[in-house]
Structure 1
């Protein structure tokens, strides 16, 4: 309620300035035990029916904060206190970079949407790793979203993902290979068959090496894809996730996993369905993406026959939006643009609405609703 009173003033600020102020406020609140407790008492709503185990990780609820909001791991404790069931930081590149020229974020309030062309601005893997090390173990899983630096040639992209993973491996519960941002030149070409198998094999090889060095299991590796892929590209990605890679010499007869899960989707280059035309370049997120991202989830769930965990993102601002993605096949759901428009109460509100929808449809747990529309 308070955020809705403040929102007109917030929206008079430049979007990136407002974002930076929000991150600073959350960082300060998350750094104090008293303020974290206050946030938890007001915003959290936990229920065992919302908990799931995915890829060996326990998620207390299916609502996550998507990558892009907390690029540098500054707001994780506060976001956990706000009731998010997991937080994905990044995108983090191996070397710091400033991103694209400003202005680079544009609100479309009539459509509940955002256009951004950020270009992976971040502090770099070493600094983010140091920040995560100081934070220590968090009460919710942390995902680490990895990208390549803008100036790295496409043929050398795998080296960037591996270099970032080398620094960040000890601090994540899962990692994400982001090949789908429209704001790094050529990045989306990595979703093609020519690059993707080689890239994922390199990341997984590093993942196993790091697991041995740190004495812990390999991280589940998710692939984040674009909503604008052609059907044949979705088929190829889904089949690669199901089929795995070459045989693993350490486990005779077993298949080496290349993709442990999929995140659908990143922002879109399309502008369909906007009430007010927008000609700014960049990726579109928010409500206009909702139906397309859900359709991609439904398609991937069909291709993978439910065998590959899916995280749904794109246009989630209500419990019904989240439930639509869950019934389409997503085990977990992420928000970002919805948080900008709805404010810090969004996770609690969506969880309450999800519980009502589960009761309405006779599901005892959220896991029972995953892929219900595939039947």
Structure 2
């Protein structure tokens, strides 16, 4: 179905196509015939894990930014994901950066986005997710600060959102690595993370997940992750979008790159970080993953979970089930009885 609709969707501006696809998903799950076509029930025990006190039927999740306002979470739960993120959202509504702010790079199955945390604000997000939570799979709230909140007050935004959504998610993803909010990445420092982790731990026992930028030097990334773990974080997502415009000569001078263009860069940083902190926190790999072999490489090098985003736009919803089937098959071919045995197996050797 998606392959039939894709040429039409790709004639539209990317942001318009995204909203149209989201609307189609919301309407589809309300129609029994379409809902049955959408729903994916593939399960294989080889992919199941218990992590962070949560049960994951498979390791494939959707990254933050796809469901900014938590109005797609219920529908996304039917597509075969092992976990979801909603957000990034902020305490107050904000419109994000001026349009156009999202571009396709078709020849590389990639995107460039300069969205800027556009979202309807915490009140609207709360109303949306409260209709469905809890879901049958783990759901994480991806939270960020408002653009107008100065960095010296940023911690207050994260505290506010954690208090408000503590009962409306299974864990929090702390986004301080988007390139599209001015000076946000400056918060990727030990002092802020240490204070933030300790303050959030006073509020919630839910898992705390830090998402880092792919453009950090490996030593700095390792040090930051170690600080986060010591401060109460349970998991690390490696990584967000990249501002390394050398990866694509025709890139805009704003926003972050995602998709296959950043695959090698993401893999390199993940390997560097995992080699130092594997076993100390749950590692989640994101960035340019579009097939089972790449997913398995990340898993064998320390990733317990995998996130996709851009690949979903280019390959469509069927890729989730296909990715899980192919991953399960690869694990069996290599002699693993469960994905847990594969996680970090290359590092253990």
Q: In structure 1, what is the equivalent of residue 13 of structure 2?
A: 14
2:245 to 255, 258, 271: 271
The aligned residue for residue 230 of structure 1 is 217
**How far apart in 2 are the matches of 1:138 and 1:323?**
27
Q: In the alignment, what sits opposite 2:311?
A: 338
What are the equivalent positions in structure 2 for 1:285-300 lying under 5 Å apart? 285-300=258-273
Q: Which sits farther off after the overlay, 197-206 or 111-120?
A: 197-206
How much does 1:362 deviate? 0.9
Structure 1 position 29, deviation (Å) = 2.5
- In structure 1, stretches of 5+ residues that fail to align are 208-217, 246-257
The CA deviation at 1:35 is 4.4
Name the SS of the counterpart of 1:84 in structure 2: coil
Pick closer, same or farther for the CA change 1:219–1:35 going to 2, 3 Å. Answer: farther
Counterparts of 2:313 and 2:321, CA distance in 1: 15
Cα distance in 2, alignment partners of residues 305 and 344 from structure 1: 31
Partner SS state of residue 86, structure 2: strand
Out of 82, 105, 118, the position equivalent to 2:102 is: 105
1:66 aligns with 2:40: no
String of CA shifts for 1:207-226, please: whole Å, max 9, x gaps. Answer: 2xxxxxxxxxx110000000
Deviates more, 1:97-106 or 1:75-84: 75-84
Partner of 2:23: 24
Aligned-partner Cα distance in 1 for 2:258–2:93: 25
Give 1:309 deviation, angstroms: 0.2
Conserved in 2, the CA contact under 8 Å of 1:30 and 1:75? no
Query: Which residue among 339, 344, 352 is the counterpart of 2:325?
Result: 352
Shift in Å at residue 205 of structure 1? 2.2
After superposition, where does 1:176-195 map in structure 2 within 5 Å? 176-195=173-192
Contact 2:73 2:129 (C-alpha < 8 Å) held by counterparts: no
Answering whether residue 303 of structure 2 is matched by residue 316 of structure 1, we say no
Could you list the runs of 4 or more consecutive aligned residues of structure 1 that deviate by over 4 angstroms after TM superposition?
31-35
CA RMSD of aligned residues (A): 1.5
Q: Spell out, residue by residue over 1:264-315, the C-alpha distance to the aligned partner (whole angstroms, 9 max, x if none).
A: 10000012443x6222410000001112212222222222132210111110
2:285 match: secondary structure: strand
Instruction: Sort the Cα spacing of 1:52 and 1:350 in 2 relative to 1 into closer, same or farther, 3 A.
Output: same
CA distance in 2, matches of 1:278, 1:44: 39
TM-score, normalisation: structure 1: 0.89
Distance 1:93 1:33, change over 3 A: farther
Contact 1:158 1:203 in 2 (8 A): no
1:259 aligns with 2:257: no
Residue by residue over 1:85-142, the C-alpha shift from the partner in whole angstroms, topping out at 9 and shown as x without a partner, is 1110000111111111111000000011100000001111121111111123211111
Unaligned runs of 5+ in 2: none
Normalised by the length of structure 2, the TM-score is 0.96
SS at match of 1:224: strand
Report deviation, 1:206: 2.4
Asked if the contact 2:62–2:308 (Cα under 8 Å) also holds between the matched residues in 1, the reply is: yes
8 A contact 1:241–1:304 mirrored in 2: no
Shift of 1:192: 1.5
Q: 1:254 is matched with which residue?
A: none
- Note the alpha carbon deviations across 1:202-250, whole angstroms, 9 max, x for none: 222222xxxxxxxxxx1100000000111231121232244x24xxxxx
Q: How many angstroms apart in 2 are the aligned matches of 1:241 and 1:200? A: 7
